Amino acid sequence: MKLTDREKIVVLLAPLAIVLGGYGWWYNVFQRPKMQTAERDYEAAVAAQVKPLDMLEQQTRKKLLDRELDAIKKQKAQLDSLAATAAGHEADPVRRIEAEKQLGDLLRRHGLQLVEEGLAAQASQNKLPGSLAEAVGRFGKPTTARTAQVRRLRLSGTFMNVLAAVRELAALEAPPGVPISLSMSEADSQADYRTWTLLVLM
């Protein structure tokens, strides 16, 4: 088909100009700002992007910290248990009975006769020594549990009997009790036997 010059303009160029011009206007007004924003965001994201090694480093660090934290928690649980034991909160009644028996055997073995045994019921006798109370108090737990384990023993025997018993108690790796106070009644100066009051922390 042959087209005159005018027809080339009217039929071909005009529709092209109208459509392309319209699209160009629409693109410039509505699309270009969106594209520019998207490109700017993309460039900013690229500039701020993390390296794969960063991610790997943080993941590895998290694993290490988790492992360390688990170990420390276990260690703290053990220490807490030890602290609770030291504060008297994990006393084993069976073990206490056994300890009382061991203590009684020890005293008898050194010639001491047990006259009376019981809890230190008197207010003045059921307290811990200040230094020990301070040490137990550091665990942040009430000291009443420890205080409740102070026993009062009335014994009959000589000074040397008591000295030998106390020496063995001090020498034992796991003594059945810790002596915290000792009283000696006044008696005839010519007699060897005395009455002793021993406060023991079981």
Partner 1 sequence: MKTRCPNTILLVTRDRLVRADLRAGRGKIAVTALYEQRRVAADDLPSQVEAALRQSSKGPGQVWILTSEIWTQSLSLPLESLTGLSTDEVTRALGFEAEPFSNLGAMEAAIASVPETGDGRTKTFWLSEMPNSQLEQIDFVIRQAAGRLAGVSHPGGLPAPFDATLADSSWRRIELWPAAMISVEGKPGAVAKVAVVNSDPRPGRWLNDVPSLAQDSATTTEWLHATSALPVEEIPESGCWSLEDRTALEHFLVTWAEQLAASRANVPQIVPLKRPMSTGVRQAIAAVVGVAALVACVAVQVFVNQHHGYLANETGRLKAATAQVAKLKGDNDKLQTQRDELKKACGQIQADLDHYQEVMRAQRQRLLSLLTVLAHRSTDDVMIRKIEGTENEIVLHGLCMQTEFADNLAGALAAALKHEGWNVQPPSRQSKEMLVGGGPWEFEVHIEDPLAKSPPPAAAQRAGGK
Choose between 46 and 94: whose C-beta lies nearer to partner 1. 46
Query: Minimum Å distance from CB 183 to partner 1?
Result: 4
Q: Does 25 bind partner 1 (CB under 8 A)?
A: no
Rounded CA separation 31/23 (Å): 10
Rounded CA separation 83/89 (Å): 9
Enumerate residues 6+ apart whose C-beta is below 8 A from 86: 135, 136, 139
Q: Does 75 bind partner 1 (CB under 8 A)?
A: yes
Q: Does 159 bind partner 1 (CB under 8 A)?
A: yes
Choose between 76 and 95: whose C-beta lies nearer to partner 1. 76
Query: Minimum Å distance from CB 20 to partner 1?
Result: 6
Query: Minimum Å distance from CB 130 to partner 1?
Result: 4
Strand-pair partners of 198: 153, 182
Rounded CA separation 31/57 (Å): 40
Query: Minimum Å distance from CB 26 to partner 1?
Result: 9
Choose between 77 and 97: whose C-beta lies nearer to partner 1. 77
Q: Does 143 bind partner 1 (CB under 8 A)?
A: no
Which residue, 200, 192, 197, is CA-closest to 159?
A: 192
Interface pattern 88-117 for partner 1 (x via CB under 8 A): ------------------------------
Rounded CA separation 39/53 (Å): 26
Q: Does 166 bind partner 1 (CB under 8 A)?
A: yes
Q: Does 9 bind partner 1 (CB under 8 A)?
A: no
Q: Does 29 bind partner 1 (CB under 8 A)?
A: no
Q: Does 28 bind partner 1 (CB under 8 A)?
A: no
Rounded CA separation 183/162 (Å): 11
Segments in the chain forming alpha helices (H): 5-7, 14-26, 32-47, 52-86, 93-109, 130-137, 144-147, 159-171
